[in-house]
Amino acid sequence: MKLRNLFICIGLMLAMAGCKKDLQNPHIPPGDTTVIQQPVPYTVVENFENGSKMAYAIANVQLSTGLWSFNDALIGSLAADVKDGNKAVRLRTGDITMKFDVKGLKQISIKHAKYGNDAASTWQLMISTDSGATFTQLGTDIAENSTSLVTDSFKVTTTAKVRFQIRKLGTTRINIDDITFKGLGDPGIIVGPPDTGGSDTTGNTGTAAPDRGVIAGTDAQPATGDNSNILLGNPSDAQPAIVMANNYLIDQKYYEESYNSTRGTPNWVSWHLDATNITNATARLDNFAGFNGLPAGFYEVESNSYSGSGFDRGHNCPSADRTSSVNANSATFLMTNMIPQAPQNNQQTWANLENYLREQVVAGNEVYIVMGSYGTGGTGSNGSVSTITSGHVTVPSNVWKVAVVVPTGDGDVNRITTSTRVIAVNTPNINTINADWKQYRVTVRDIEKATGYNLLSNLPQAVQDAVETKKDNL
């Protein structure tokens, strides 16, 4: 795995700067204890490994960083393509253009080389501050005469949101790879594809995919200690015992869950998220399947069980939180990781929250997350119902999540303090929900009261009392 080609978080020392008083700020009088929140550095790399385009004809291409327009350009993987990894852009006479903006950018770096035995040529980097309406050249023309990848960096001085175009001059071909964005604060880039797929709201019953289990690779989370999936506690004291059919603990390696056989959904799912999990080594697989590891007598929800229900197959642990391997992404598509979720709740409100948490990882953090649902009765695209699948799957009334955000490091339990940021969200499972997840922030204690669970139970009681009673307001 080439970490330099992945989404890499840097600047952990500055990540803690927001906890310190800026004694040099001239606007703070002596003795004032005002806290100055320092923007956190970010580094985001587009390595083109996640895209596919085999022809020169103009078309948009979805890449890890967002949508790009390829005009007389393709994504090459031939031996003659000069690349860092398996793929690189091969640009002939046209251009490649970002269809999205980046915020807080200070520098952009681009690796480039001649393609194969083509003659030397020239290209330009163009910048737009009006969302692509107009472009002007940034820096000077770049002469392309190298047979191996070289890097050119460009300083960005504007404070506006920007997007870029790489414009080719002449008819010979060049390769472009590893475009690196460095800046401060929130880049505004969605990290990985959101969980907006998986809708099963049509009337087509179809044929269920074969049940399967989890194959754990080396990228699976450790069973215990730092980065383990239930490091911060087992909220319902779930156990892998058949007599606990409605609170049955399943270690799916890439997450852990309490499964409820009567409801046909998890009570909660818990997982750890850091930069190694969102490397985009695999695309979203959409390989929904029943789980073959349930004990005999447990009801097995199948991949087509939600068909015609008006509800999405809503992930608990998101697909985009597990893109480090096919095994990792496949684990998230087991039906034991799903709830019947109102489409707008899943595709807007929840997707926005999931993207936001991945952005915190890009900004230099790791996140411990537990998500669950409770109650009976939600409103999907076909109206309000209490159950689906002939009564075998309960539609929850509420969907909740708790996320503990800490700077990347070791000794995680000991590093979580009374000032650690904890985000708790509780949303109604309805189709008229607001897309802004921040409107549904609550305290952890609010969720504990509604569910009866003991969240974050492995933290010292004094820390729990502090972080569980504060409502996030950032």
What's the pLDDT tens digit per position in 214-250?
Answer: 999 999 999 999 999 999 999 999 999 999 999 999 9
Catalytic (active site) residue 315? yes
Record the pTM. Answer: 0.69
- Domain parsing of the chain, residue ranges: 3-184, 248-467
For 209, residues 6+ apart whose C-beta sits below 8 A from its C-beta are 287, 288, 289, 290, 302, 303, 304
Q: Residue 178 in contact with residue 129, Cβ under 8 Å?
A: no
DSSP E strand boundaries for 284-436? 312-315, 338-341, 365-374, 378-380, 383-385, 387-388, 393-394, 398-407, 421-428
- pLDDT at res. 220: 97
Q: CA quadruple 357, 360, 362, 368: dihedral positive or negative? A: negative
CATH class as words, domain 3-184: mainly beta
Rounded-to-integer distance, Cα 163 and Cα 166, Å: 10
Which tokens in the block code for residue 335?
């039906």
The Cβ of residue 31 has, within 10 Å, a number of other Cβ atoms equal to: 5
d(CA 135, CA 124): 11
- 48 or 200, which is more confident: 48
- Look up residue 359 and give its two tokens: 């952005």
**What pLDDT does 192 receive?**
59
Lowest mean pLDDT among 35-49, 305-319, 393-407: 35-49
Output the CA–CA distances (angstroms, integers) from residue 228 to 58, 102, 271, in the order listed.
45, 33, 7
Q: What is the DSSP secondary structure assignment for residue 335, as one 8-state letter? A: G
With beta carbons less than 8 A apart as the criterion, state whether 402 and 440 touch: no
Confirm if 144 and 123 have CB atoms less than 8 A apart: yes
State the pLDDT at residue 40. 78
**Residue 390 and residue 369: Cα distance in Å, rounded?**
32
Instruction: Tell which wins on pLDDT, 11 or 301.
Output: 301
CATH number of 248-467: 3.40.570.10
Question: CA-to-CA distance for 471 and 416, rounded, in angstroms?
Answer: 17
Q: Which of 27, 112, 272, 315 is catalytic?
A: 315
pLDDT at residue 142 greater than cutoff 70: yes
Higher pLDDT, 19 or 432: 432
* Distance, CA of 338 to CA of 394 (rounded, Å): 11
pLDDT one-digit tens code per residue, 369-396: 999 999 999 999 999 999 999 999 999 9
pLDDT per residue as tens digits for the range 164-216 = 999 999 999 999 999 999 998 878 776 655 566 555 654 555 678 888 999 99
